[in-house]
């Protein structure tokens, strides 16, 4: 079967790999000149096998008034009278009950475990280099109340055989000595020793090259897809902005946050809301942490990726396509410098990046047949965990096509 994979971010490249491995003839398409330039480019690098926590939660619901009143610099919501946005917002709120949150989180964790297993086989099969490392991860809780509240989730995860440990500050400092100089509040930490990290952008380029070499995948870059041709509701070809249509038997849409540009022929695209985030990458310096850190209060994620050190954070629901805001880089830099003085003090060294998380109301990705055109499949909406969930989602997608 000839399958077009539309979008070469982490989800698209992983899908192309799984489909080609299953014996399909694959064409991997992207509007950009190379893989990994979209939401996957400068993300926080975390392969959070044990952190599948859905975004809509009772804790976020409680925090909503302060977000809407702009009292928390980590969030910005641009309210608008767009029916898709309002519907998305209502569905997001419906997912914020304790019961729905845990059910969504459990589903995400199961997918993350599938991804972890697929990562192990991919590392065994290929020689691709993307600074993959089992760095472990510490979630830093600012006060005794929030730390105590984390216990029930840790216990729930333990029942799923996920290894997470509650550590005191001295115990956390023994795991990551750089925390001795950490200026943020730490009442305790949740430690996940088996979480990994890797450069998602390098992964996309390397795996993109690998599938071309190993599985004769055809790469079509600089090619923007604008829709589909179908006969009797069955897919016939993929249509492009600037070239002839490509006849295929199936198409998998892995367009990340840009899936909305295909909404006219893909109703599922309306379930995805872009949530902008930002990152700053600087050279790693002696004394910076090596274990991945998440500052729960400030919503900051820190990662040492090869010889670089990155902070990522902020969650802005803006008008889709409105681009990034320069002042948000300063907000991120100030928050990061306040807790790790010296690491992000020299803006001339930093690499700035902004991207959009493709969020569904439940935080669970859409891995499904399209409701509108037979032969079209969707693998999108991976939100804040697309890098973590890419390989598991690709495996499920390939099973669906089989
Ligand atoms: C600040 C930040 C930090 C994050 N940190 C983490 C993290 O630590 N761990 C984690 O697991 N996840 C993280 N994420 C989330 C993760 O980066 C995303 O979920 C993931 O990159 C989505 O991948 P994707 O392949 O679906 O989309 P993308 O990477 O955006 O890929 C989609 C591709 O489709 C192409 N495309 C779109 N439309 C078309 C079209 N019409 N025609 C042709 N090509 C098209 C685009 O050019 C793009 O290359 C983070 C996100 C942000 C913003």
pLDDT value at residue 131: 98
pLDDT value at residue 322: 75
Q: Is the CB of 10 under 6 A from ligand 1?
A: yes
Q: Is the CB of 206 under 6 A from ligand 1?
A: no
Q: To the nearest whole percent, how much of the chain has pLDDT over 70?
A: 100
Rounded to 5 degrees, what are φ and ψ at 175?
Answer: -75, -45
pLDDT value at residue 81: 85
Residue 319 has pLDDT above 80, yes or no: no
Residue 325 has pLDDT above 90, yes or no: no
Q: Is the CB of 386 under 6 A from ligand 1?
A: yes
Residue 8 has pLDDT above 90, yes or no: yes
3-state helix, strand, coil in the chain (%, to 5): 40, 25, 35
Instruction: Give 287 Cα–ligand 1 centroid separation in angstroms.
Output: 31
What is the crossing angle of helices 10-21 and 200-215, to 10°? 20
Q: Which class does domain 2-401 fall in?
A: alpha beta
Burial 253-272 (b: 16+ CB within 10 A, else e): bbbbbbbbbbeebbebbebb
| Residue 209 neighbours by CB under 8 Å, 6+ apart | none
pLDDT value at residue 38: 95
Instruction: Kindly report the protein residue whose alpha carbon is nearest to atom 1 of ligand 1.
Output: 277
Residue 349 has pLDDT above 90, yes or no: no
Residue 331 has pLDDT above 80, yes or no: yes
Give the whole-angstrom CA distance, residue 327 versus residue 4: 39
Q: Is the CB of 280 under 6 A from ligand 1?
A: no
- When pLDDT is averaged across residues 7-34 and rounded to a whole number, the result is 98
Residue 326's pLDDT band, with cuts at 50, 70 and 90, is confident
Q: Report which of residues 224 and 76 the model is more confident about.
A: 224
**Average pLDDT of the chain, as a whole number:** 96
Q: 373-398, pLDDT tens digit by residue?
A: 999 999 999 999 999 999 999 999 99
Q: 54-105, pLDDT tens digit by residue?
A: 999 999 999 999 998 889 999 988 888 889 899 999 999 999 999 999 999 9
pLDDT value at residue 297: 95
Residue 313 has pLDDT above 90, yes or no: yes
Give the whole-angstrom CA distance, residue 39 versus residue 277: 9
Give the whole-angstrom CA distance, residue 281 versus residue 239: 37
Residue 283 has pLDDT above 80, yes or no: yes
Q: Is the CB of 40 under 6 A from ligand 1?
A: yes
Residue 338 has pLDDT above 90, yes or no: yes
Confirm whether pTM is higher than 0.85: yes
* DSSP state at residue 16: H
Ramachandran assignment for 304, one of left (phi > 0), alpha (psi -120 to 50 degrees), beta (any other): beta
Q: 353-372, pLDDT tens digit by residue?
A: 999 999 999 999 999 999 99
Residue 151's pLDDT band, with cuts at 50, 70 and 90, is very high
Instruction: Give 302 Cα–ligand 1 centroid separation in angstroms.
Output: 19
Q: Is the CB of 7 under 6 A from ligand 1?
A: yes
Helix (H, G, I), strand (E, B) or coil at 319: coil
Give the whole-angstrom CA distance, residue 180 versus residue 176: 8
Give the whole-angstrom CA distance, residue 199 versus residue 130: 5
| Residue 237 neighbours by CB under 8 Å, 6+ apart | 228, 229, 245, 246, 247, 248
β 308-317/75-77 pair status = parallel
Q: Shortest CA distance to 78 belongs to which of 260, 332, 258, 322?
A: 322
Give the whole-angstrom CA distance, residue 342 versus residue 287: 10
Residue 320 has pLDDT above 80, yes or no: no
Per domain, the residue ranges of the chain are: 2-401
- When pLDDT is averaged across residues 207-230 and rounded to a whole number, the result is 98
Residue 348 has pLDDT above 90, yes or no: no
Ramachandran assignment for 160, one of left (phi > 0), alpha (psi -120 to 50 degrees), beta (any other): alpha
């Amino acid at each position: 079967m000839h399958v077009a994979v539309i979008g070469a971010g982490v989800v698209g490249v992983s899908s192309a790999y799984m489909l080609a491995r299953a014996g399909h003839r694959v064409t991997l398409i992207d509007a950009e000149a190379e893989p990994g330039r979209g939401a996957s480019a400068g993300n926080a690098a975390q392969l959070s096998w044990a952190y599948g926590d859905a975004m809509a939660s009772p804790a976020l619901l409680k925090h909503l008034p302060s977000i809407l009143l702009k009292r928390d610099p980590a969030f910005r919501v641009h309210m608008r009278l767009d029916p898709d946005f309002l519907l998305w917002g209502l569905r997001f709120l419906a997912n914020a009950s304790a019961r729905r949150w845990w059910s969504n989180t459990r589903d995400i964790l199961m997918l993350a475990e599938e991804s972890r297993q697929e990562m192990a086989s991919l590392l065994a099969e290929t020689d691709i280099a993307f600074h993959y490392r089992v760095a472990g991860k510490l979630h830093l809780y600012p006060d005794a109340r929030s730390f105590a509240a984390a216990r029930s989730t840790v216990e729930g995860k333990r029942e799923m055989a996920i290894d997470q440990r509650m550590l005191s500050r001295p115990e956390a400092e023994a795991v990551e000595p750089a925390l001795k100089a950490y200026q943020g509040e730490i009442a305790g930490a949740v430690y996940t020793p088996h979480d990994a990290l890797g450069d998602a952008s390098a992964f996309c380029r390397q795996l993109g090259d690998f599938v071309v070499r190993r599985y004769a995948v055809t790469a079509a870059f600089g090619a923007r897809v604008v829709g589909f041709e179908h006969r009797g509701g069955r897919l016939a070809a993929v249509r492009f902005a600037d070239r002839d249509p490509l006849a295929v038997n199936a198409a998998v849409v892995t367009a990340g946050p840009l899936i909305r540009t295909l909404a006219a022929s893909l109703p599922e695209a309306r379930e995805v809301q872009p949530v902008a985030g930002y990152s700053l990458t600087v050279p790693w310096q002696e004394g910076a942490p090596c274990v991945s850190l998440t500052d729960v209060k400030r919503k900051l994620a820190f990662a040492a990726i090869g010889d670089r050190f990155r902070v990522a954070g902020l969650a802005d629901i803006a008008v889709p396509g409105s681009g990034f805001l320069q002042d948000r880089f300063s907000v991120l830099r100030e928050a990061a410098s306040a807790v790790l003085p010296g690491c992000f003090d020299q803006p001339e060294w930093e690499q700035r990046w902004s991207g959009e998380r493709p969020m569904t109301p439940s935080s669970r990705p859409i891995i499904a047949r399209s409701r509108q055109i037979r032969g079209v499949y969707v693998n999108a909406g991976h939100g804040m965990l697309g890098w973590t969930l890419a390989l598991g989602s690709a495996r499920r997608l390939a099973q669906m096509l089989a």
